[in-house]
Structure 1
Amino acid sequence: MSETGVIHDIGYQRYEGPRLGRAAAIKALYVHGLRAAYGLGRPPKAKIFPWLVAGVTLLIAVILAAVRSQVPEFEFTYAQFDDSLSWLIIFFVAILAPSLVSRDIRSGTLPLYFSRPLRAADYVLAKFLAMVSAVWLLLGVPQFIMFLGAAFTTDKGMTGVWDEVRELVPGWAYSLLWALLFTSIGLLVASLTGKQAFAAGGIVAIFLMTTPVVGVLASLPASAANHLAFLASPMTLVSGVGAWALGNDIGIDIGRYGPIYGIEAFCLITACLLLLLARYRKVAAL
């Protein structure tokens, strides 16, 4: 008795539409990461912390805008707004970075991401840009609210508005520096483990352990050590770059060593990104 095979048509068809390629994959991953940063498209529990932090920063901005409009002699710059929220930024990054990369490691979705046409470098770029955008928006939007409050209450007409614009743009640049440095450190630490709690703790620990070092170095009798002490912590490093490049009055004295702060910030961001890329290239090769 001979057996005969039967082919059943179950309706599968080849995809014949346009293939959008790597650029579309990077864009989709970037948009997904930015939405996930603020809990959009995720359960209500995931929205609590990011929107709580965003609400706090917006509330502070509204209060500062009101005070500045009523008390003209009250001086609080856009750069000082960033510095005053430094610890809030740390905790925001400590929660955000693991949610963007540690979850992918734990759930085992990286092999799917690294299927063609997306590459390891594309994944790193999309996640990095998404987190930089999220942190920058956390600082930039409240700064814009402060600007609107000052622009609509100035008694100098368009001259006063233009003066505020000239202060806002460097403030936004300073916020971008915060976002770049903290994102590079946060993503690198978070990429080392699939457990979000461990990743968050590691990120916070880096900032907690480096801050006391600044205090010790700043107390040394040597003048050079006092000026260079702020290189030891990412928070004071950002402040030092702001004092040198943007002329921010932030209460720290870096002397004539401003270029060293700029070089270290650039090297630190670059090193973190290269290590992050090497990390995911190794994962992609498995």
Structure 2
Amino acid sequence: MSETGVIHDIGYQRYEGPRLGRGAAVLALYVHGLRASFGFGRSAKAKIFPWMVAGIMLLVAVILAAVRSQTGQTIFTYVQFDDQMAWLIIFFVAILGPELMSRDIGSNTLPLYFSRPLRAADYVAAKFAAMVTAVWLLLGVPQLIMFLGAAFTTDDGAKGVWNEFLDLAPGWGYSLLWALLFSSIGLLVASLTGKRAFAAGGIVAIFLLTTPIVVVLSVLPSSAANHMAGLASPMSLIAGVGQWLSNEPESMSGLDLGRFGPIYGIEAVCLIAACLLLLLARYRKVAAL
């Protein structure tokens, strides 16, 4: 007795709309990552921490703007604002990194992503861009509030507003540096495990464990070791770059760069590049499976 098969038409229709390709896939992944950074499209519980951090930073900015407008006194510059908010940014990155990377690993959705025209480089670029944007907004929006508080109370008219903007622009650039470095480190660590708690702990540990090294190097009898102590920790590294670019002899962090300012800039660029290359290698390996 021979076996026969029958194909039944149950009414499914073929998709005849436009096929948007890789660019649309990358954009969709970026938008999804940026929305997830602040809890949009997720439960109310997922919105608590990112908006709590954002609320604290906005409140500080409003207070600084109010003091500036009433007394004319500048408590923190735009660059110093980033340095003072460092620990909040660390915890924000520690929560956001696992959300963007570890969730896909833990739920085993990466094979679905890479079964489409999306490449490993596209995936990494979209996630990195989403996290950089989120961290930059977290710093840049409060700085904008500080700028508005100063600009609309200036006595010099348009000239005063322009001078204040010239102070704001380097602050926004400094915020972008924070976003680039912290995002690259956070995403790399989060990509190593599907357990979000482990990934978050690993990210925080990198910043906590490297800070004491800076303290030890700064008290050694060698002046070169003292000047380069900040290279041992991401936080002091960024502070050193900001200090070098602003030509300040000594920052609020207490760093004394000496003549090694350019070394801080070179290490920052190399560290960001190394993290992204390792992240790309990690996902190329996953895509090849």
Report the TM-score, using the length of structure 1 for normalisation: 0.97
Give the match's secondary structure for 2:185: helix
Cα distance, 1:11 vs structure 2? 1.5
Distance 1:3 1:119 in 2: 42
Tell me whether 258-267 or 1-10 shows the greater mean CA deviation: 1-10
Q: Which letter maps to 1:129?
A: A
Counterpart check, 1:272 vs 2:275: yes
Which stretch of the first structure deviates more once superposed, 217-226 or 24-33?
217-226
Which residue of structure 1 lines up, in the alignment, with residue 39 of structure 2? Answer: 39
Q: Write the distance in 1 (CA, Å) between the matches of 2:159 and 2:179.
A: 31
* Cross-structure match for 1:148: 148
Distance 1:125 1:216 in 2: 37
State how far apart, in whole Å, the 2-side matches of 1:5 and 1:276 are. 48
CA offset digits 1:9-58 (Å, max 9, x no partner): 11122222211111110000000000000000001110000000000000
For residue 226 of structure 1, what is the aligned residue in structure 2? Answer: 226
Quote how far apart the aligned CAs of 1:2 are.
Answer: 8.0
CA RMSD for the aligned pairs? 1.4
Report the equivalent of 1:106.
106
Q: Does 1:68 align with 2:71?
A: no
Alignment of 1:284 onto 2:284: no
Q: Counterpart in 2 of 1:97?
A: 97
Deviation at 1:175, TM superposition (A): 0.2
Report the more deviating stretch, 179-188 or 13-22.
13-22
CA deviation digits over 1:66-86, x for unaligned, max 9?
A: 011112233420001000000
**Secondary structure, counterpart of 1:153 in structure 2:** coil
**Amino-acid identity (%):** 77
- Given the two structures, how large is their TM-score scaled by the length of structure 2? 0.96
Tell me if the contact between 2:67 and 2:73 (Cα under 8 Å) persists in the aligned partners: no
* 2:251 matched residue in structure 1: 250
Q: CA deviation at 1:5?
A: 5.0
Residue 238 of structure 1 pairs with residue 241 of structure 2: no
- Between Structure 1 and Structure 2, how many residues are aligned? 286
Deviation, 1:4, is 6.5
| In structure 1, distance between residues paired with 2:148 and 2:224 | 41
Partner Cα distance (1:147, 1:258) in 2: 28
Aligned counterparts of 2:232 and 2:2: Cα–Cα separation in 1: 81
> Is the 8 Å Cα contact of residues 33 and 131 (structure 2) preserved in structure 1?
yes
The Cα offsets for residues 149-173 of structure 1, whole Å up to 9 and x where unpaired, read as: 0011111111110111001000000
Paired letter, 2:256 = D
Indicate whether 1:134 and 2:137 are aligned: no
Q: 1:261 aligns with which of 228, 245, 264?
A: 264
Counterpart-to-counterpart distance in 1, 2:97 and 2:2: 62
- CA gap of 1:120–1:35, structure 2 versus 1, over 3 A, is same
In 2: Cα distance, 1:30 partner to 1:72 partner: 41
SS of the aligned residue for 2:198 comes to: helix
Deviations 1:75-114 (A, max 9, x none): 4200010000001100000000000000000000000111
- Paired AA for residue 43 in structure 1: S
Unaligned runs of 5+ in 2: none
Aligned CA distance change for structure 1 residues 219 and 138 (closer, same or farther; 3 Å): same
The AA in structure 2 aligned to 1:258 is G
Residue 185 (structure 1) shift? 0.3
